[in-house]
Amino acid sequence: MSRLARVLLVVMGGIGLSALAFYRLALYPPTWFDEGSHLHVPKALVRWGVYADYSSEGFRFSGPILGVGPTVLLPIAGAFQVFGVDLWPARWVMAGYLLLTASLFFAMARRWVPGSGAAFATLWFVFTRSLDTVAYGRQVLGEVPAMAFLALGLIGWARMARDRWGGILMAGVGFGLALITKNQWGIFLIPGLLAMAILGKAFYRERAWAGNLAIAGVALGFWGVWQGILWGLLNPDPVRSLTELRAIAGGSVMVFPSPRMGATARSLLTVFDGAFLPFLLYVAARSAQRTPEGYRWGMIGVLAAFNIGWLVTASNGWLRYAYPGLALLSLGAGGMLEDLRRQAKKSWGLSAALTAWLAVLLLGSAGVVAARIARGGDGSAFAMARYLRAHIPEAARIETWEPEMMVLTDHRYHQPPQPLLDVASRFIWFGGPPPSAVYRWEASDPDYVLVGAFGRWVQLYREVEESCPPIASFGPYRLYAPRECTMLRSGDRSVQP
């Protein structure tokens, strides 16, 4: 592929991504539990000057303040301060992050894959439906921003070959910001750096192997400074928050051995429309070479292996947790394409067939992603918010586990305690008891109960839905007035604080 063709490919990809990043931004994907929960923090910061989650009984210092870092939440708070508290300014911030991430990923890919392979790897990272980068990047989630910082860190890591200390500093800062953005990425990132130090000395015979240890130190230093601010200055009850954090993580990211190992491993085989295993083997083969190039691919292989290995062995198996590892394997798509191009003269037929296979997979995924944005999503949350503002007094008490509604209106909402997420996760993923077995929503004495997709998924308010007619209904959202109907009781249930 000529230089002009590569430039045109990059420009067209950038224009297409920009259009997909902003088109129908507030409608697709529909706002939901995780996004709404994260938005509580910038809203509380703008309205009350507190870096916290909140409910009708007061502030909460766990959950979203630990799930996503200030690299995401503070820019959104700034957008709220300028444009008001709403979904669209928050998503504009995220769309900007999406474009930044794609740019940094391309800059990083060029250090691993020459020629057109870097552009193809970036297009694969952005448009393959298995990663769903565009959908994640349009929401207030931490994966895409963290990937921007991870890519920055990898650019610095590759730079160590010619600028050791400059590369160490850039990599440490990038990886540190990734850890601040998504705390759980430390599960694979820090062990990956330590493993590369060992492999760099013992297997690759790389002179700069100790740089991995220095990078890990800088990254942990960055992360540690933020943790000191969070736990020492912003959190008035760190002991309770730590207890809640352990409970929340117990049913999702710290489950060893995971009962779902077999099911998770099988689901991985379908990733990238069946190309997961070829990409994994390609990266492994490149990593096995005792050369400077093999050392670079070793970094990609080790990080992906630690991330995906943790997903299979010690999590609930949600593929979103493997986002960084699968994103890095996108480099395998670019590497394979570039190798096929080089081998075309020797085996034209096979190279053309494999290239066409990769191209068809990418174009098919890109078409699906574009169609979802063009036709998917809905405004049910906004319709319910308009109804609440028009018909329900703000002083009324509303029980709900749909945190996005707590951002769209200023009513007095009560949400279940954060540790109930552990119960919900075990119920959904491992067949444990439902959250309704341990949480009694009646204790908050609500005037209304608002049930949406998440509350219905975990069956928290099933009793209300089965015995009360809704007074308002928009899409998945139902509003109930429990005092106006007779509800069936199903035995004693303990009350959670």
Q: Write down the domain spans for the chain.
A: 3-375, 380-484
Most confident of 112-116, 129-133, 350-354: 129-133
DSSP count for the chain of H helices, then E strands: 22, 7
Closest to 252 (Cα-Cα) out of 424, 133, 61, 496: 424
**What does residue 382 show for φ and ψ, rounded to 5 degrees?**
-70, -35
Residue 40 predicted with pLDDT over 80: yes
Residue 138 predicted with pLDDT over 90: yes
54's enclosing H/E stretch is strand 53-55
Omega of the bond prior to 419 within 30 degrees of 0, cis? no
Q: Which is it for the CA torsion 172, 174, 175, 177, positive or negative?
A: positive
* ∠ Cα 307 309 313 (to 5°): 125
Spatial separation of the C-alpha atoms in residues 317 and 314, rounded to whole Å: 8
What pLDDT, in 10s, does the model give residues 264-306? 999 999 999 889 999 999 999 999 999 999 999 999 999 999 9
Give the rounded percent of residues in the chain with a pLDDT score beyond 90. Answer: 72
**What does residue 322 show for φ and ψ, rounded to 5 degrees?**
-95, 10
Residue 258 predicted with pLDDT over 90: no
Count CB-CB contacts under 10 A for residue 292.
11
